[in-house]
Amino acid sequence: MSRRYRLALSVCFLLAVPAALDAQRPANLIRQEFDQAAREVPTLARVLSITPGMTVADVGAGGGAMAVTMAKWLGADGRLYATDVAAAQLAEIRGAVTKEALTNVIVVEGATRATNLPDGCCDAIFLRDVYHHLTSPLEFGASLLSSLKPGGRLAVMDFEAEPGSPLPTGVPANRGGHGIPPTVIVSELTQSGFRHVRTIERWPGDADHLFLVLFEKP
């Protein structure tokens, strides 16, 4: 996934545009996302210490590639919550779930300050290319904590800001541009009550230099 495309996708995360049929994204980009999800999900499952049958949430799921792939990995006895704040992305996720005939996916409309997930519902949660857009990170972090079971794990995959890149609207200035340092994520989520487990400086299989920060709910 190119940096230019990722910036465009990030804008879509914030803007709830109508999900009209003639506004569907190019098929080659969707296929690219699913190919990358197939590479990432098995490794992510190991990092999150999850097994088939568990309950996982993809918060800020975008078009649903990671959510659908993880739902298949979890199996029919598992459960996958897929959230987003944008109407277009929610419609795309539902379309992907229907296409794959999945019965273990629950699509949830998220909010800027909360996950809108049930309390204590998840064994694990992940956010990919989402955290740097949060405008209320401490409140959102507290909501993430509430959504996890005790001992549940949280993975945040994101990228460092390029010098001079524009700061997304409404986010704290300490991001340094479009992106976020992993140390800032650690600082904010530990304030929200998480325990930092480790940071993977280069997320494997990703061409855009994502890092992964892993947390646990005490």
Strand 211-216 and strand 148-158: pairing? Answer: antiparallel
- Listed in sequence order, the DSSP H helices in the chain are 3-14, 27-47, 65-74, 87-99, 137-147, 182-191
Beta carbons within 8 Å of 26's beta carbon, 6+ residues apart:
none
pLDDT tens digit string along 141-152? 999 999 999 999
Helix (H, G, I), strand (E, B) or coil at 67: helix
List the one residue out of 137, 213, 126, 128 whose CA is nearest residue 175: 137
Each domain of the chain, given as residue ranges in start order, spans: 3-15+24-216
Do the beta carbons of residue 60 and residue 110 sit within 8 Å?
A: yes
Instruction: Please give the Cα distance from 32 to 53 (Å, whole number).
Output: 27
Mean pLDDT of the chain: 89
For the cut 70, the answer to whether the pLDDT of residue 107 exceeds it is yes
pLDDT tens digit string along 73-95? 999 999 999 999 999 999 999 99
pLDDT at 26: 84
Q: Categorize the per-residue pLDDT at 218 as very low, low, confident or very high, splitting at 50, 70 and 90.
A: very high
Q: Categorize the per-residue pLDDT at 25 as very low, low, confident or very high, splitting at 50, 70 and 90.
A: confident
For the cut 90, the answer to whether the pLDDT of residue 11 exceeds it is no
User: In CATH, which superfamily holds the domain spanning 3-15+24-216?
Assistant: Vaccinia Virus protein VP39 (3.40.50.150)
Instruction: Please give the Cα distance from 180 to 187 (Å, whole number).
Output: 12
Token output for 110: 């998220």
